[in-house]
Amino acid sequence: MREDLLSIASDIVEQARKLGADEVDAYVASSAETSARVRMAKVERIIDATSHAASVRVIKDKRTAVCSTVDLTPKALSALVQQALELATIAEPDEHAGLPDRDELALDVQPNLKLYDERIESLSIEEMKDAALRCEQAAFDYDSKVTNSDGAEMGVTRGVVALANSLGFAASYPSTNAMIVVEAICDDEDGKKRNDSWYTVERALHNLEDAEDVGRKAAARAVAKLGARKMETTTLPVVWEAPIVRALLALIGQAASGELLYRRSTFLAGLEGQQVGSSLFSLVDDPLLGGRLGSRPFDGEGVRSRTVSLFEGGTFNEFLFDSYTARRMGRKTTGAAERTLSAPPSPGTSNLMLPPGEQPAEALIEGVEDGLLLTDLMGFGVNMTTGDFSRGAQGFRIEHGKVTYPVTEINVSGNLKDMLASIDAVGDDVQWLGSMAAPSIRMSQLTISGV
């Protein structure tokens, strides 16, 4: 399959060059998804599907067009190339358009990042169904207060990505991932429903959490919310539970995009080399970690992957660039190009990591006389240009260094620069979820809006 897709990508490039493209790259992807979803001990959905698609980017006289298709027959691919060249003639010219410089491409031996688990090939739908059933049942068995479920699911995906361009780059890599997820629902004394979920997702099956553990964690989180109260509007220290810190990292990673920089729509503009966050805050984007979901041997343009230190000791070091945004800003690509089928490449993160601190997570709570343990965020109230942040939230009140009761229907707000600067403690409890790793953190103050 890898050889077939790479051959298709190379053929697309050759056709486009023969028809007059100055520069061209082709991206071809294939995936096979299998999953079993259950709810209330009954099978709700089985999926066993494959998909494949191809995308071509042509550049002619500094005019760019991107076209894609799910039909990989020779006739359809020829039409795809022709369509892209026709569209390029009506696109606006852009002096920054073009492929990466050849010396930036991953033309040498690429790293083995352990992105493929062969055992996933032999995993049956029956085994996935059994894991989903065990996961859901473990949630019900955890506590009698768990009275309902929004379902449990296990699924796996196998995929191949192939990329070729007119500078001589041609490479592909396979990948897999597997996941288990469940949502547990409890009944509150006042008749309100409280729910929470947990999931595990990894490249390899042996790294997944046990299905029963996933169910118990979801149930424990849901049960802990029973009796949730509102709270008054105030300003308090806030401890961020490790899993929810990923939401913060995602925002910082987005703000570090070279695309937002050239569009002047990031609060980090003009802050390179400056102290932005607390000295306890460091952030690394690393696509070269073995077996991680965001890892890749090369980026969406074929540029060799490299580790980028976005923040170190609170100092903002650099933005993430693909070749286009780098040219716009007079920089070099950082190998951060993400690729989709329907749009040109754009910069994005791979594996974001906030290194652990030296304190146990419990110590972050024990050091708070009156505060909030933040466990859930809802909504999208973030202005990336100014850094203003306001999100719906849930969590637990901290009193005299102890977690006392759950709280709901609150908003937490601040400015992302101020929030990073207010980090006064980082836990040692790093957790990987998806393509991000983070420990618990504590901010000295955030505004909490309640009743």
Q: What is the CATH number of the domain that holds 66?
A: 3.30.2290.10
Q: Which of 183, 206, 223 delimits the end of a domain?
A: 223
Of the candidates 334, 326, 379, 290, the one whose C-alpha atom is nearest the C-alpha of residue 112 is: 290
Q: Which of 223, 253, 282 delimits the end of a domain?
A: 223
Alpha-carbon separation of residue 299 from 11, 13, 162 (angstroms): 21, 18, 11
Cβ pair 220, 194 in contact under 8 A: no
Please report which confidence band the pLDDT of residue 188 belongs to, taking 50, 70 and 90 as the band edges. confident
pLDDT digits 0-9 by tens, 48-67: 999 999 999 999 999 999 99
pLDDT digits 0-9 by tens, 377-407: 998 899 999 999 999 999 999 999 999 999 9
Cβ pair 285, 349 in contact under 8 A: yes
Are 245 and 373 in the same domain?
yes
363: tokens are 């110590």
Are 261 and 181 in the same domain?
no
- Within 8 A by CB and 6+ apart from 191, the residues are none
Are 404 and 422 in the same domain?
yes
Are 428 and 288 in the same domain?
yes
Are 219 and 242 in the same domain?
no
Q: Which of 165, 198, 223 delimits the end of a domain?
A: 223
pLDDT digits 0-9 by tens, 289-308: 999 999 999 999 999 999 99
Query: Which SS3 state, helix, strand or coil, does residue 427 take?
Result: strand
pLDDT digits 0-9 by tens, 128-186: 999 999 999 999 999 999 999 999 999 999 999 999 999 999 999 999 999 999 999 99
Are 215 and 295 in the same domain?
no
* pLDDT at residue 187, as a whole number: 87
* pLDDT at residue 192, as a whole number: 82
Are 73 and 165 in the same domain?
yes
* pLDDT at residue 189, as a whole number: 75
Of the candidates 298, 268, 228, 242, the one whose C-alpha atom is nearest the C-alpha of residue 429 is: 242
- In which order are the strands placed within the sheet that holds 63-69? 63-69, 42-60, 23-39, 146-165, 170-187, 193-202
Q: Is the confidence at residue 451, as pLDDT, over 70?
A: no
Q: Give the structural domain span for 158.
A: 2-223
- Within 8 A by CB and 6+ apart from 351, the residues are 285, 286, 287, 289, 292, 293, 294, 295, 435, 436, 437
* pLDDT at residue 380, as a whole number: 86
Which whole number is the average pLDDT over 211-225?
A: 98
196: tokens are 């929470």
Q: Mean pLDDT over all residues of the chain?
A: 97
Are 29 and 155 in the same domain?
yes
Are 238 and 210 in the same domain?
no
- The number of distinct structural domains making up the chain is 2
Of the candidates 342, 345, 325, 343, the one whose C-alpha atom is nearest the C-alpha of residue 333 is: 325
